[in-house]
Amino acid sequence: MAAVKSFAAIAALGLIHLAQAWYNDLPNCLSPFDPFVYSGCYDNGQPGQPQALSLRTDEDQQNMTVEDCVSACKGNGYRLAGLGYYGVCYCGQTVSTALLDESECSFPCTGNSSQTCGGDTQVNIYMDPTFPTIAEPSIGEYAPVGCWTDDSPNGKALFYRQESLDSSTMTTETCLSSCLAGGFPFAGTEVSIPSPSTFPVPPFQAKAMARYDQDSITTS
């Protein structure tokens, strides 16, 4: 029986410099660096909803401090660091949720009770001041980068499916909007399956131009 190969069309956000260290777990930054600047208390989403920052780290939340989380995010090339629920450390490039009143963040950090680590569904966010200021991106800044197989022995082309989207009404614009809101520089669609988002595609391929076509689904 011929096996059906699944292909996904992938688009990349023009701001490729945002893509660094998205999935590689690198060491914390141990060298001196400019302190992150406090940005405020943000909604961190209810279960099943987008979180303020895209990556929840594996840092030890039982002994977490602001310095530890900031160091982890700095070492992995992220612009933002966030602390929620007593010491859960998040990193990201953009904030996907709303700014809240400061009183909403009141939980002490497990590693330093004089510091605040968010709330039940809130997160305190800090920003690296050395990052250049960037304009708010739009889906128009995504560009096609080709048609990619999605059944490789090495895994999926993109990691995170946008489970909240209705695949029966999927459009390219819907997928791009969802991935943009999550801070993902890469987005992809296949058949009518909710779009995954991440960027295992090397940055040097970001200028490749292609367009998804149903005829790209082949058998072998």
pLDDT at 123: 98
pLDDT at 107: 98
Q: Within 13 Å and on the Cβ side, how many CA atoms surround 141?
A: 16
Query: How many CB atoms are closer than 10 A to CB 7?
Result: 21
Report yes or no: 151 and 5 within 8 Å, Cβ to Cβ: yes
47 three-class SS: coil
**To which residue do tokens 């200021």 refer?**
133
CA distance 211 to 27: 38
pLDDT at 75: 87
Strand 80-84 relative to strand 108-109, pairing? unpaired
Residue 74's contacts (CB-CB under 8 Å, 6 or more residues apart) are 28, 29, 33, 36, 81, 128
Rg of the chain over all Cα atoms, to the nearest angstrom: 19
Domain positions in the chain are: 7-18+136-216, 34-127
Burial 80-111 (b: 16+ CB within 10 A, else e): bbbbbbbbbbbbbbbbbbeebeeebbebebbb
Q: What are phi and psi of 7, to 5 degrees?
A: -120, 145
Confidence (pTM): 0.52
CA distance 164 to 123: 22
pLDDT at 185: 85
The one-digit pLDDT tens for each residue of the chain (220 residues) are 444 444 555 565 544 333 333 344 555 545 555 789 999 999 998 888 889 998 999 999 999 999 999 999 998 889 999 999 999 999 999 998 999 999 999 999 999 999 999 999 999 999 999 887 767 778 888 888 888 877 777 777 887 788 888 888 888 899 988 888 877 888 888 875 445 554 444 433 322 222 233 333 222 2
